[in-house]
Amino acid sequence: MKIYNTLTKKKEEFIPLEEGKVKMYVCGPTVYNYIHIGNARPIIIFDTVRRYFEYKGYDVNFVSNFTDVDDKIIKKAIDEGKTAAEISERYIREFNKDVEGLNVEPATRNPKATEEIDGMVEMIAALIEKGHAYEKNGTVYFRTRSFPDYGKLSKKNIDDLEAGIRIAVNEDKEDPMDFVLWKPKKEGEPFWESPWSEGRPGWHIECSVMSKKYLGEEIDIHAGGEDLIFPHHENEIAQSEACNGKEFARYWMHNGFLNIDNKKMSKSTGNFFTVRDISQSYDLQVLRFFMLSAHYRSPINFNRDLMEASKNALDRIQTAAANLEHLIDTAGKIECEMVSGLSTGGSQALSKEEEELLKESAKLQEKFEAAMEDDFNTADAVSAIFELVKLSNTYGTKESSPAFLKELLDRITLLCGVLGIKALKKEELLDEEIEQLIKERQEARKQKDFKRSDEIRNLLLEKGILLEDTREGVRWKRA
């Protein structure tokens, strides 16, 4: 399996640190708002990477953090008259709903920064002890020049970087390139005790600490969006390697950016969608399918036409799967009738032609694998699935044997499943059942049983039913 490694700028054969295991860390969101569709890209991509490893039989330890202390969270808390913890908890809940809709496997662990402060204080103290960090007026800085490999990931030269810094803003820093590990609190901010000041950690240290705690000093893959290469990942490497004296991560994977209508996504120009916005008009499976239609390292352009195209493409797969399922059901019934002597025709055994066609379909599975093994080329992997769909549509008929139909259906659902795509839609709910569940949800909300009301909302979402709370009451529609 080949992975493009940002560290070496080459596609490299994947060799795990420990046979059969993958230790993977993906930098997670800062939880101060609903995630936007740009944030969804790394979530979907690295979930697909994980799923492919699992398909290959690897045991994947997948850790992704929540940054739940940060200026933006604090600002939102002040604006809304809430605590920072209330804000972050709310958006972690909302995040979980979105990723469920996107069919993302739950991480092995989702550590939260605020629950790992002790570990951060410990690592900062170790860095000071080793001469890689220093304290000035309650702030602790990383001594960037003490780490000779600084810049190895982003291919930046520390002297060039320094030349680019025009003003020495901070008198306390020994060197303009030094970055903050710990900072004293400001009035009204959440804070923790430390040997240096009552304060809070800088952003970069949390990932070094959580990755070490949950995966060990050396891991296989560290991933995130390409904007994280510098300074976030560069600083993580400096902290971890200076502290542990070991290579932090073997493979660094970064996804390209998502643009909207060929422009950078930006809230101020209205060029911005949350995953929740999209879920009002589409099943989130469509968004997932859309993300997989391009190579993860290339930029991807989002617009309504492309989403419609993804919806139609996904529909083609799901229709083929539903047809196969229907044919299998009918064939099953014919067989029962045959057993009871009521019918003739339809055979259990594979015909010669079917055997040949199944060999062809197995080759398409190999084609799918070859695409995925070439640095997770999901676009080509999806093409292989479409070839399989075409084969099924052409040769899966009432006359086919159930074994043939079943093998085709299993192969389509298996390969779609590797991409996190559900080939078989869940059974549809009847209108009355939906109304009944909505009533139950209203009742639960009245009783302040938000757990139940969320459960119902998610259940409906899973069945493709979107709810909208309006002043006139709850409206619903099918995705």
Residues in binding site for ATP: 267
State the binding string over 189-208 for Zn ion (x if CB under 5 A, else -): ------------------x-
Does residue 30 belong to the site contacting ligand AMP (CB under 6 A)?
yes
Using CB under 6 A, pick the residue from 101, 111, 202, 225 that binds ligand AMP.
225
Number of residues counted as binding ligand AMP (CB under 6 A): 15
* 207 interacts with, out of Zn ion, ligand AMP, none, CB within 5 to 8 A per kind: Zn ion
Task: Provide the 8-state DSSP code for 109.
Answer: B
Toward ligand AMP, which CB reaches closer, 64 or 318? 64
Q: For residues 67 and 276, what is the distance between their CA atoms, to the nearest angstrom?
A: 20
d(CA 225, CA 376): 15
* Residue 30 binding: pick among Zn ion, ligand AMP, none (C-beta 5-8 Å cut-off by kind): ligand AMP
Q: Are strands 10-13 and 21-26 parallel, antiparallel or unpaired?
A: unpaired
What residue is closest to ligand AMP based on CB? 225
Rounded CA-CA distance 181/200 in Å is 9
DSSP state of 274: B
Nearest distance, CB of residue 239 and ligand AMP, angstroms: 18
**Residue 198 partner contact from Zn ion, ligand AMP, none using kind-dependent CB cut-offs of 5 to 8 Å:** none
Pick out residues in 11-30 that bind Zn ion (CB under 5 A): 27
Is 402 a binder of ligand AMP (CB under 6 A)? no
Shortest distance (Å) from residue 374 CB to ligand AMP? 21
Tokens of 118: 């002790």
Token pair 């400096």: residue: 238
Tokens of 347: 């055979």
Residue 113, interface with Zn ion (CB under 5 A)? no
Query: Known binding site for Zn(2+): residues?
Result: 27, 207, 232, 236
Minimum CB distance to ligand AMP smaller for 128 or for 275: 275
CA dist., res. 455 & res. 350, Å (int)? 44
Angle at the Cα of 183 from the Cα atoms of 178 and 189, rounded to 5 degrees:
150
Of residues 260 through 279, those in contact with ligand AMP by CB under 6 A are 265
Is the omega angle on the peptide bond into residue 106 within 30 degrees of 0, that is, cis?
A: no
Q: Which stretch binds ligand AMP (CB under 6 A): 163-171, 223-231, 422-430, 456-464?
A: 223-231
Burial (CB count within 10 angstroms: exposed 0-12, middle 13-18, buried 19+), residue 276: middle
Site for ligand AMP in 243-262 (CB under 6 A): 255, 257-258
- How many other CB atoms are there within 10 angstroms of residue 282's CB atom? 22
What does the angle CA 269 – CA 73 – CA 264 come to, to the nearest 5 degrees? 25
Q: How far is the CB of 183 from ligand AMP (least distance, A)?
A: 19
Dihedral sign of CA atoms 119, 42, 314, 419 in order: negative
Which helix (H) or strand (E) covers residue 251, if one does?
Answer: strand 249-255
- Interface pick for ligand AMP out of 199, 201, 224, 402 (rule CB under 6 A): 224
Q: Report the residue number, 25 or 368, with the smaller CB distance to ligand AMP.
A: 25
Pick the binder of ligand AMP from 5, 14, 41, 179 (CB under 6 A): 41
**Residues 6+ positions from 436 with CB-CB distance below 8 Å:** none
Angle value at C-alpha 180, between 175 and 186, nearest 5 degrees: 125
* Contact set with ligand AMP (CB under 6 A): 27, 29-30, 38-39, 41-42, 224-225, 227-228, 255, 257-258, 265
Site of interaction with Zn ion (CB under 5 A): 27, 207
